[in-house]
Structure 1
Amino acid sequence: MIHRPNVVDGCFLRYEREQPDFRPYFGLVMHVTGTSPNVHQVREQVASRIERMPTLAWRVTQRGRRTLWEATPAFDPHDHVHVVRIPEGASLDETVERLLYLPMPAQSPRWGIWLVHGYSDGEYALFYRSHHAGQDGQAMMDALTALFGTEPPVSPPSAAGRPAAAKSWWQRIPARAITRNLADEVKALRHTLRWSPQGPLSREARVQSAAVPLSWLRETGRARGASSNDICLAALGDAMRGWLPESWIAPHQRGRDLFVSLPVSLREPGERFMVGNRISAVRVPLSFWEDSPTARVAAIARATAPAKTEEMRRALRTQLRLPEWLVYRVLQQSAHVRNGLDTSGLLRIPGRLAMGTDPIRTVVVTQFLYGDHAFGMSFVAYGDNVVASVTIDRALEDVGDLAALWAGAVERMWHEAVVNDGAPGRVPESSHDATRPGAMRTHN
């Protein structure tokens, strides 16, 4: 298979090399119902499924200024599956947080799976972790589908790409892509709402998460003329208003909108099961100071609409052929909070997942923190639920549970748009009970 080098892959490798404390690893915690298997059973399932995503046997590396994908000599998938038994008194949360930033050897494909058990008699966890230079969010979802999906396998493409045309970069980039890049540079000058925590960041992360029924997002979106992803973002804006202490916002910041950096997947159908990055990003304002949820949803839907068009996707896709030094500059800018919060679009895992006959009940995303970002947020739809996960600096964990606030905001919007048929109303107190879906907490 031929792997087309990607400038985003190279940028993450370079950033890690130049920032020794930067660990661009992100992952997925799968909560599995059943008695923990022997690690050899996990290794055998993974090994038997590798052919469903053969790109997992390749590694990304750099030689001089060139970013390359190359086959790994003597690749053995068994070596990428590990086991951790949680000691008495420790929790799954603490164990995952400890695993988040373990270094990955550059000599092999940068992904791994950890079987985590010992914390429950009726449940265990599988933690899939990858280097961002090797996979974007969609590639991670495809990896889970390949290794743990219960549906018949989807045939991977016979070739993952072709060498780029031998032209100068400015000859390969349409004028609209260059214009788009310049427009993004100008927009980046419009600083997002910033705040000042009362103390320094710890540079240690923990994960908060909460789940809501997927039907709530879909029904609210239909009622408001928006997508489920728009509802996720609107709920994030609402949750941030409840989470962010007023004392942290300087007077001159009031009225300034809060932006998020929203990744846009640029994968074509034939690029499924490819490793590497096929993403760009757009900045989206959350209408932070808007009191009306209906108005906030409408504003966000207008802001995200251009990113959903094929014309915009073509323009963003051509950015992947810009020179690496320019894309690296954009990546460096994104490390500054002034350019917006880190979030993901609503990622979806199709079908169901299982380890052997044990069903995987919930999937939670873990992110990396870089630059001066204090947290990042992700949304993933799996089965009947959507899980919002917040990877947050430990220095801020006592401020409040942002994931739970997000779930409460989704439920309020659903009640107003669907249950109350568009009429504003007070959500019953019982809706915030932890036993109800709107406040359902996952382990991390």
Structure 2
Amino acid sequence: MPLQYTAGPPAAQPFSSRDRLITEIAGLGPDPLLHLGCVLVFDGGPPAPELLADHVRTRLPALRELVLRPDPGQRRWVPVDRPDIDAHVHTLTVSGDLLRDPSLAVDAVLDQPLDHSRPLWGLWIVASATGDGFALAYRAHHAFQDGRAAAETVDRLFGPAGTGADGRGTGALTARGGTAASLTSALLRDLLPTARPRAVDWPPARHPAAGTRHAAVGSYELRRVHDLIRGTGAGISHIALAALTGALRAWHPDTWRDAASPLPATFALSVRTADDPYRLLGNRGAVAVLPLPCHDPSPAARLETLRAEASPARLADLAGRHTALFDHMPYWCARKGLRRTIDARRVPLALADVRFRADLSWQGRRPEAVHLLPPSVPGQPLFAAWTTHGGRLRITFVADTGVPGLDALPGHFDDALDRLTARPAPAPAPCPAP
């Protein structure tokens, strides 16, 4: 009996310009460099692969995008007649305690391949050789799904049955429009390549790539920043950006002693609309270039700068430009615009903030930790992505193994949060008059 999909049976869908671009960019380096997803870490023993595959089958009616595979020759996604869910479930074993060190699971799955003859997603069961916890990792190719689509897929797989089926709560940014003339002018100024791009001198970008990747993760209590949110009006994303800026400043302090300019970083935005009939398919992202004020010694000033640079109005404006670039302009123009935006000589690192909206669980157990699996943009030495879960802010740093000192970043991030949330010392009481 054919599977009864919640939104009707899947049909072939053309590649968007973003899908084409991401597929092309993936050809610039090893294919795994453009996989993304997340890792859920649980207490207890790992499930059998058959049990996880059976669970996916029960959720498949609301996940029709997961049966579409790439047809590069026709530049489209086409349905698989008989999806083999078992082929998408894999197992790995790592040494060490996953509950104490979730980065073991992140590292284990980073560069695992995806079969391009099938839909471009997979689930990995990561077991610990010592029996201390296990992880479930969902991964997809960045052309098949962007970060928002992957997060919603995880919500539907491991949230309560029916999560996301109503099409609400996509978490996408509402892109601002504009006149054709203003959009064209902005695109030509901000996105198309210049003859001589200004190179950014940043130590992590100087190291030759090793071709393999490493992850470091950090976990921080959100209650540490509640007073800061109330006192400044900043959002979690602004605070994460400010703490990251402080961490990068401490990571290579000599770089910023005499510097007078910020460090450019790409910041991922989702512009997928709630009425998209294939919300979990393809890339519907935009990119903002944020100048991280690593050169500014004041934590409070860095936060205020980033509140302005990453304000909802500015991000919506940038999302509108990219929507026009990718959806309404010739492919060659979109290609040049994206190439300039991710040019590692100009923008040497990438950032993302991706949230989960469901109460995630497996067999009645909530995850002990949830960490994002960011992709690696070819040529860029570092990608940092964060989410919130269980009252904690969790960040993942991924870098080429040729970049030294990555494991120090979570500690620097912790110190930067302390400096952001430190209260000024009270002024000394005046001496009593004689």
In the superposition, the TM-score normalised over structure 2's length comes to: 0.82
How far apart are the structure 2 equivalents of 1:205 and 1:18?
Answer: 16
Q: In 1, are the aligned partners of 2:399 and 2:406 still within 8 Å (CA)? A: no
**Residues 185 and 25 (structure 1 numbering): CA distance in 2 closer, same or farther, change over 3 Å?**
same
- Deviation string 1:323-381 (CA, Å, 9 cap, x unpaired) is 32222223333443232243333221113211112221211122333433221100111
1:246-395 map, 5 Å: 246=254, 249=255, 254-271=259-276, 273-305=279-311, 307=313, 310=316, 312-321=318-327, 322-395=329-402
Cα deviation code 1:57-111 (max 9, x no counterpart) = 1123322xx5312212321222211122336899975564343223322211100
Q: CA deviation at 1:112?
A: 0.1
Letter in 1 for 2:322: L
The 5-angstrom pairing of residues 80-99 of structure 1 reads 80-86=88-94, 93=103, 96-99=106-109
**Correspondences of 1:33-432 after superposition (within 5 Å):** 33-63=43-73, 67-86=75-94, 93=103, 96-150=106-160, 152-155=162-165, 174-185=180-191, 189=197, 191-195=199-203, 199-244=207-252, 246=254, 249=255, 254-271=259-276, 273-305=279-311, 307=313, 310=316, 312-321=318-327, 322-398=329-405, 400-414=407-421, 416=422, 420=423, 423=424
Which residue type is aligned with residue 71 of structure 2? Answer: T
Unaligned runs of 5+ in 2: 1-9, 169-177, 427-434
Structure-2 change in CA distance of 1:317 and 1:124 (3 Å): same
Whole-Å Cα distance in 1 between the matches of residues 48 and 283 of structure 2? 33
Query: Are the counterparts in 1 of residues 40 and 135 from structure 2 also a CA contact under 8 Å?
Result: yes
For residues 262 and 238 of structure 2, the distance between their equivalents in structure 1, rounded to whole angstroms, comes to 16
Amino acid at match of 2:208: P
- My pick for the range that moved more, 356-365 or 234-243, is 356-365
Instruction: State the Cα distance separating 1:137 from its structure 2 match.
Output: 0.4
Question: Can you list the C-alpha shifts for 1:282-304, whole angstroms capped at 9, x where unaligned?
Answer: 11111111111111111111112
CA distance in 2, matches of 1:82, 1:74: 19
User: How far apart, CA to CA, are the structure 1 residues paired with 2:308 and 2:256?
Assistant: 29
How big is the alpha-carbon RMSD for the aligned residues of Structure 1 and Structure 2? 3.1
Does the CA-based 8 Å contact 2:265-2:351 persist in structure 1? no
Q: CA deviation at 1:232?
A: 0.9
The residue type paired with residue 115 of structure 1 is I
User: 1:141/1:14 Cα in 2 relative to 1: closer, same or farther (>3 Å)?
Assistant: same
Indicate if the aligned counterparts of 1:134 and 1:276 stay in contact, CA closer than 8 A: yes
Partner SS state of residue 320, structure 1: helix
Larger CA deviation: 114-123 vs 232-241: 114-123
3-state SS of the aligned residue for 1:274?
A: coil
| Number of positions where the alignment pairs a residue of Structure 1 with one of Structure 2 | 401
Q: State how far apart, in whole Å, the 2-side matches of 1:174 and 1:137 are.
A: 29
In structure 1, how many angstroms separate the alpha carbons of the residues matched to 2:37 and 2:19? 17
Cα distance between partner residues in 2 of 1:133 and 1:17? 12
Against the structure 1 CA distance between its residues 18 and 343, is the aligned structure 2 distance closer, same or farther, given a 3 Å change threshold? closer
- After superposition, the Cα gap between the structure-2 partners of 1:399 and 1:275, relative to the gap in structure 1 and judged at 3 Å, is closer
User: TM (normalized to structure 1)?
Assistant: 0.81
Counterpart residue identity of residue 59, structure 1: R
Please tell me the residue identity of whatever aligns with 2:286. Answer: S
Residues 111 and 128, structure 1, Cα contact 8 Å, conserved in 2: yes
Q: Decide whether the 8 Å contact of 2:361 with 2:367 is kept in 1.
A: yes
Displacement of 1:173 = 9.2
Instruction: Work out whether residues 264 and 349 of structure 2, in 8 Å CA contact, stay in contact via their aligned partners in 1.
Output: no
Q: Distance in 2 between matches of 1:191 and 1:88?
A: 41
Tell me if the contact between 2:35 and 2:142 (Cα under 8 Å) persists in the aligned partners: yes
Whether contact under 8 Å (2:15, 2:75) holds in the other structure is yes
**Aligned partner of 1:254: which letter?**
A
CA distance in 2, matches of 1:199, 1:312: 31
Report Cα offsets for 1:240-270 as digits up to 9, x if no partner: 1110152xx499x832311111111102222
For 2:335, the aligned partner's letter is: Y
Which letter does structure 1 place at the counterpart of 2:355? Answer: R
CA distance in structure 1 between the aligned counterparts of 2:206 and 2:185, rounded to whole angstroms = 40
Distance 1:146 1:280 in 2: 24
For the 8 Å contact 2:62–2:162, the answer to whether it is kept is: no
Q: CA deviation at 1:20?
A: 5.2
Amino acid at match of 2:64: P
Shift of 1:402: 0.8
CA distance in 2, matches of 1:310, 1:375: 25
Amino acid at match of 1:45: H
Unaligned runs of 5+ in 1: 159-171, 426-444
In 1, are the aligned partners of 2:70 and 2:76 still within 8 Å (CA)? Answer: yes
Q: Distance in 1 between matches of 2:50 and 2:229?
A: 44
Q: Are 1:346 and 1:381, in contact at CA under 8 Å, matched by a contact in 2?
A: no
Please state how far the C-alpha of 1:191 moved relative to its aligned partner: 4.6
